[in-house]
Amino acid sequence: MITRRENARGLEEQLKHTLLELKTSRASCEQLPQEREDSEILSALNENKQMKSELAELYSQLMDTRGDRDQLQRTVSGLDRSSGELEDALKLTTDLKLKLRDAYTIIHG
């Protein structure tokens, strides 16, 4: 037969074991928010890294586009100059043709 003293010791051991489990559970519960916060920070850092990479790529594309634009502007400026020179040459040719016609009319006239 189990005596009161043995029964009390058994209950005391169960209480100690339950208290230890409770402390372990509490420690785990306190650790969970920190782990979640750490996970959120790591996620934000990874997202930040990805956005920095995308920004660097976009900046590179911007620089390439600006280079292309500058080259195109130089080409257009060269074409504008050539167009002006061509207009001058056509006017001169037209003037010379008129003078040649006038000279032909005078000579053969």
Checking if the pLDDT of 4 tops 90, the result is no
pLDDT at residue 1, rounded to an integer: 63
Checking if the pLDDT of 72 tops 80, the result is yes
- Better-scored residue on pLDDT, 91 or 29: 91
φ and ψ at 3, to 5 degrees?
-85, 170
In the predicted model, what is the mean pLDDT of the chain? 90
Cβ neighbours of residue 10 closer than 8 Å, sequence gap 6 or more = 2
Read off the pLDDT of each residue in 74-78 and give the average, rounded to a whole number: 94
Helix, strand, coil percentages in the chain from 3-state DSSP, rounded to 5: 95, 0, 5
Checking if the pLDDT of 62 tops 80, the result is yes
Checking if the pLDDT of 46 tops 90, the result is yes
- Better-scored residue on pLDDT, 75 or 16: 75
